[in-house]
Amino acid sequence: MAKKELRSENFVVYRTSRKTMLPSSAFLVKKSALTAPIVLQKLKAIYTPPRTFLTWRTPLDLLIVTILSAQCTDARVNIVSKALYRKYKTPQDYLQVSRIELEQDIHSCGTYRNKAKFIQELCAILLEKHGGKVPQTMEELIALPGVGRKTASIILYAAFGKNEGIAVDTHVLRLARRLGLTRAKVQHKIELDLMRATPKEDWGLLNTLLISHGRAVCTARNRQCGKCVFQKECPSSLVLGKRDLAKN
C-alpha cells in the first residue's frame, strides 16, 4: 500500500491509506538534528581530503580512471593507472592499440570489455568534437560514452574546480542516509537532496569529506559510532541505540 508523506516542523508523518487517518495508522519519524552545513563544518575540522582519491596528471587521465573506478576500488585503479600512464598520454594513444590490448591493460579493474569500449569511443569523440580536450560542462561530459553525472561531477570538480553536481558513490549514499540527510534510496534523488541542502561551493567537498568519514569511521560493516563526531546526534548512532537508516 502506497505511503503518503506529510511534513511538520519536527516530524515526518507517513499515512498508510488515502482515507482519514486514525492515530494508530500512522508512524512518526523524527527529523534528524543534523543538517548538511553541520556535517560539513564538523568533517572539515577532521579531514583535509584531496579533490579526488584517484591519481591523475591531466583531465584525460582523470576521465579514464574515473570510468575504470566503476565497481572497482580507487586503490586498485591507482595501481593499474601507473602502467597506463606510461603507455597512454593522449586520446590517439588509446585509439592506436587494439581493443583486446586495452582490455588486457585494464583487466583487473573489472567489467573491462565495456570499459575498454567506452574509453576508445569517447577518445574518438574527444578528437572529433572537442579538439582532443576533455570538455568542461556537465552537458558535454554526460554525452560521452560511459560518463554519467557521478563521473562528470568528479571530473568537473577535481580537474576544473567547478561544482555542477555531487557525486554519489557507495560511501556518500550510505552516509547521507545514515546521517538523515536524505530518505531517498536511488542515486539521482540522493544527489538532489544533498544539492538542495548544501551550499553550491561545497558540493565537491561534501563528496570527499563523506568518503573520508565513510572509510575511517562510518564503515559499511561494523560502523564505529563510539569514535564518531556525530555519535550523540546521528539518527543511526549505535551509542543512542538507533538502527541503521542506510539499511531501510
Task: Answer for the pair 177, 212: CB distance below 8 angstroms, yes or no.
Answer: no
Sheet strands side by side (includes 26-30): 4-7, 11-15, 26-30
Stretch (H or E) spanning 135: none
Question: Which residue in the list 31, 169, 202, 244 is annotated as catalytic?
Answer: 169
In sequence order, the 6+-apart residues with CB closer than 8 A to the CB of 86 are: none
Range list of H helices, 71-111: 74-87, 91-96, 99-105
Q: Is 162 a known active-site residue?
A: no
Q: Is 150 a known active-site residue?
A: yes
Question: If you write DSSP's letter for every residue of 39-56 in order, what string do you get?
Answer: HHHHHHTT----S-SS--
Q: State the catalytic residues.
A: 150, 169
